[in-house]
Structure 1
Amino acid sequence: MGDRFVVYGASHWVLMGLIVVGSVVLVVFGRGLSRDGVERWCRGFALVVVGFNLPLLAYRLSPWAWDLFNSLPLHLCDLAWVVAAWALWTRASAPHALLYFWGLTLTPQAIITPALDAPDFPHLDFIEFWGQHLLVIWAAAFLTWGIGLRPTWRGYWTSVVVTVAWGLAMLVFNAVAGTNYGFVSSKPDNPSLLDLMGGWPTYLAVELVVGMGAWALLTWPWTRRREPVTAA
């Protein structure tokens, strides 16, 4: 089985560094692409995201790996890779907004306080968890700072509505199935930022308020209007 993954162990630090370095490289690379190059590389990147995640999803849903509590792609991080592929392929504003907000606020939480109880590299669970999260953050950085897609207030509100609707759907599903997808029915067992937000359901309300505030701050720099400079 190998050694267990340890939070803030050697592999954890290496992967967090890889996220940062990979994001910077992709941003610099994206800024140097021609118009035709953007089209080719975005679609190629989308195929990489799908090609990595889809076989793993098929494996999780197979009879020999099926687990009601973990196999369904209902966590936001599971949906984020689908949104990443969609945003890369189309470069449309709606999927980009979701990728921007999910990829730069929610996915980093999973990176900083990973809910990963599995053997270390090269175990499949390890590769799946980190590969999925790295690709989402890299895609968000590439599309936003690399090729210049920008979030808008419309995208902000669309993302808020979609995320709240997902959370409500997970509350209903978890109540029926006895699961805890999205950690909306109880906190994860590992330490996380949710531990600072009170008990259930208080932490859900706090998370919503804090999340909306953080997303607003991430939208404002791109949307504020500069005052024209007038001659003296």
Structure 2
Amino acid sequence: MFSLAHWGAIAVLITFILLLFITRTRWTESEKNILSMERLFGLSLLVIDILYHVWLVQSDRWELSNSLPLELCSISLLLTIVLLWTGNRLVYQFVFYAGIGGALQAMLTPVLDMDFPHFRYFHFFYTHAGIILTALYFTWVKGYRPTFKGVLTTLLALNILLPFIFWINYLFEGNYMFLQRKPSGGSLLDFLGPYPWYILSLEIVAFLIFIFLWFLFKKK
């Protein structure tokens, strides 16, 4: 965390965000070409994530306790791919709120034990940056807009997932979504109180972040 490689990944993300914002009104390609580009990017996210699981298996790291796609960003990544292939507006709301909120926190405080130039480094930052950039692309370029209803439906979806994630954690002795304990390497969760109270704090923080994003990007 906060190494040169970490700051480099953050700098690349900021650069692409700025480029996306600056060129948001200059996307003059035909709709067919844009759809092809969206699906190609979605495919690249899917392929690199599949390769990540292949690497986990080959290196004897794949375990039911920590390798299922049940982290917030893993779920957001799968829905980001769905969004890029379908343009579904309901999926957009989840990717915008939970995707940006979760991936941004992961980018700032990465739970990562492999440094540059390891494959895992590129997988981690490519997928998390992909979630953020996709949400911003659909907002700035495609004209989608987050709604207050989207805030509520995203929070509802997350809370519907919680009992299932708790059960999986209990069954496989996992820590998906950090619902059993905080990450050992330090994260923003360290500021939200002890277990299990930080889970309640997370609900409040998530709501506040979603409201902030809604005010920042909602249709004026």
Q: What is the TM-score normalised by the length of structure 1?
A: 0.85
State the identity %: 26
1:59-98 equivalences in 2 (<5 Å)? 59-60=55-56, 64-98=60-94
CA offset at residue 127 of structure 1?
Answer: 2.0
| Residue 14 of structure 1 pairs with residue 8 of structure 2 | yes
The corresponding residue for 2:100 is 104
What is the number of equivalent residue pairs in this alignment? Answer: 218
Aligned partner of 2:181: which letter? S
Contact 2:65/2:169, CA 8 A, preserved across alignment: no
Give 3-state SS (helix, strand or coil) of 1:66's partner.
coil
Aligned partner of 1:69: which letter? S
CA offset at residue 178 of structure 1?
Answer: 0.8
Q: Deviations over 1:48-94 (max 9, x none)?
A: 22222223234435684422333211111111111111111122111
Gaps of 5+ in 1: 1-6, 226-232
Give 3-state SS (helix, strand or coil) of 1:148's partner.
coil
Q: CA RMSD in A?
A: 2.1
Contact 1:74/1:181, CA 8 A, preserved across alignment: yes
| Aligned-partner Cα distance in 2 for 1:21–1:80 | 22
The corresponding residue for 2:158 is 163
The one of 33, 38, 42 aligned to 2:38: 42
CA offset at residue 15 of structure 1?
Answer: 0.4
| Residue 137 of structure 1 pairs with residue 141 of structure 2 | no
Judged with a 3 Å threshold, the aligned counterparts in structure 2 of structure 1 residues 29 and 222 are, in CA distance, closer, same or farther, namely closer
Contact 1:46/1:88, CA 8 A, preserved across alignment: yes
Aligned partner of 1:22: which letter? F
| Aligned-partner Cα distance in 2 for 1:221–1:117 | 34
| Residue 117 of structure 1 pairs with residue 107 of structure 2 | no
| Aligned-partner Cα distance in 1 for 2:193–2:53 | 33
Gaps of 5+ in 2: none
| Aligned-partner Cα distance in 1 for 2:23–2:55 | 33
| Aligned-partner Cα distance in 1 for 2:64–2:172 | 8
Judged with a 3 Å threshold, the aligned counterparts in structure 2 of structure 1 residues 76 and 31 are, in CA distance, closer, same or farther, namely same
| Aligned-partner Cα distance in 1 for 2:24–2:45 | 17
Give 3-state SS (helix, strand or coil) of 1:187's partner.
coil
The corresponding residue for 1:194 is 189
